[in-house]
Structure 1
Amino acid sequence: MHEITKNSQPNSLTTYKNDPQASYDNLPQDVKADLKASLLSEQGHVCAYCMSRIKAQNMRIEHWACQDDNRTLELDYNNLLACCCGNEGKPKHTYTCDKKKENKVLTYSPANTAHSINNRIIYRHGSGKVTSNDFSFDKELNDILNLNETRLVKNRQHALKAIQEELEKKKGTRSKQDIRKLYNAVLAVNSRGQRKSFFGFLADYLAKKI
């Protein structure tokens, strides 16, 4: 998980919200498409929670404050996030992110700067796990989002191995300048507006070596 800087909401959503009958459940397809495109753009096409790569065709629009209990926020752009499908269709114990969360309450949002999400997340590079020093939030990462599900842990470890192999390509100890260059590349957005999967996990690993 990594802090998300929200864009301005799409113009089509602004217009739709002026309709007295506007609701998320009745969101027109063109408005929903614009919404997905905007959320993907600001998140670099990675899931707001697990940071796996997502596309418009395989994502869910997540309400951080759930719709059932927060009807006034169902079309609030700042409450909306792009998430992966959370292993939908597989055994329920493997569900993650929005699919696992459902209507449960999550204390902190990656899209709320006041929540300082980057200071609350701890990446365990040896185990591939995501944790927090905040006991309650750490429990939420596991019980509500299931961010340490086996598949996600293995995917993080695989992504980290690629970074470690890149560091080992050059004989001898890599200079801080070399590491910073790789760090910047990990954080960069490519020509298609995409970030690397698990970029927060990877950047944290490199930052500790600079």
Structure 2
Amino acid sequence: MKYIEKQAPPAGLTAYCRTPGATYQGLKKKKALYKVVKEALANEQGYICCYCGRRISGKGDTQIEHIFAKGTPVYEEMQLDYETNLLACCDGGKGQRSQGTIRKEDLFCESVKGSDILPVIPLYRECESKFLFSEDGEIVGVSKDAEVTVKLLNLNSPVLKNMRKYAIDNYSLCPPADWGAELLRLRKRDQAGAYEEFCFVLESYITTYIHAV
């Protein structure tokens, strides 16, 4: 999980929120505006999933996530709150599930979160320090709230674990000449405004096992 610094909402969303009776379902029906909001969310996150860090494009592989479930009455008024409740999330493996390549129990992120409230969310500045990653791609929560978050999002799904391990293994095949410079690269966006997929996983690996500073 990588800290997300929220930006101002798109002007079109602000205008729509002033419409009497505005709802998230109503936003989805405004397809052009819905696409704008989804792209804006993905862009401010550097085109990685708000929870697992997989690459997202802001288009078909991306969905708008509500930190506080939109179907829960107590959070109904937050369903369009861009700055405190809306994020961009991957499909949680649903595409692979529909193709029969992964099991239902291997789904992750929003696909399994439901209406649960996460103890650790990417809007907390300290969220990145709450998790460590082993060389085999396993995510470990360093506190009880982080452990609960890992479980609620199924972040140790074999699918995610294998993807993280593959990313880490690339360093064994082609280690950088300067680990410090690699850390700096991982902390920056590329020219397209995107972070490296699983950038925070790789940062954790380098600082934990390579001891770069």
**TM-score over 0.5 for the pair:** yes
Q: Distance in 2 between matches of 1:189 and 1:164?
A: 23
Q: Distance in 2 between matches of 1:36 and 1:15?
A: 16
* 2:139 is equivalent to residue 134 of structure 1: no
- Displacement after TM superposition at 1:119 (Å): 2.3
- Match 1:83 to one of 89, 93, 111: 89
CA distance in 2, matches of 1:118, 1:159: 18
Question: Which deviations, in whole Å up to 9, do the C-alpha atoms of 1:12-58 show, x marking residues without a partner?
Answer: 11010010111001102122111111111111111011100112111
Q: Which residue of 1 aligns with 2:43?
A: 41
Equivalent residue number for residue 63 of structure 2: 60
**Residues 85-134 of structure 1: per-residue CA shift (max 9 Å, x gap):** 01115131011000111212211210233xx212212222x231112122
Take 2:53 and 2:70, find their aligned partners in 1: how far apart are those partners? 23
CA distance in 2, matches of 1:140, 1:4: 17
The one of 74, 97, 118 aligned to 2:109: 97
Is the contact between residue 54 and residue 197 of structure 2 (CA under 8 Å) also seen in structure 1?
Answer: yes
Distance 1:2 1:193 in 2: 15
The reply to whether residue 147 of structure 1 matches residue 150 of structure 2 is: no
Alignment of 1:144-183 (within 5 A): 144-167=152-175, 178-183=178-183
- Hey, what's the Cα distance between the residues in 1 that align with 2:140 and 2:78? 28
Segments of structure 1 that go 5 or more residues without pairing to the other structure are: 169-173
The two structures, once aligned, show a CA RMSD in angstroms of 1.5
Deviation at 1:137, TM superposition (A): 3.0
Q: CA deviation at 1:75?
A: 0.4
Q: How many residues align?
A: 198
TM-score normalized by the length of structure 1: 0.88
User: Where does residue 22 of structure 1 map in the other structure?
Assistant: 22
Q: Among 124, 128, 140, which residue is 1:118 paired with?
A: 128
Match for 1:119: what amino acid? S
Contact 1:60–1:98 (8 Å) recurs in 2: no
> What secondary structure does 2:60 align onto?
helix
Structure 2 residue runs of 5 or longer lacking an equivalent are 98-102
Which position in structure 1 is the counterpart of 2:100? none
CA contact (8 A) 1:163 1:202 kept: no
Aligned residue identity for 2:121: S
What fraction of aligned residue pairs are identical, expressed as a percent? 27
Farther-moved stretch of structure 1 (92-101 vs 157-166): 157-166
8 A Cα contact 2:120 2:149, kept in partner: no
After the TM superposition, list the runs of 4 or more consecutive aligned residues in structure 1 that deviate by more than 4 angstroms. Answer: none
CA distance in 2, matches of 1:200, 1:164: 18
Residue by residue over 1:129-185, the C-alpha shift from the partner in whole angstroms, topping out at 9 and shown as x without a partner, is 11212224303312x1010011111111111111233327xxxxx6xxx11111112
Q: Write the distance in 2 (CA, Å) between the matches of 1:140 and 1:111.
A: 14
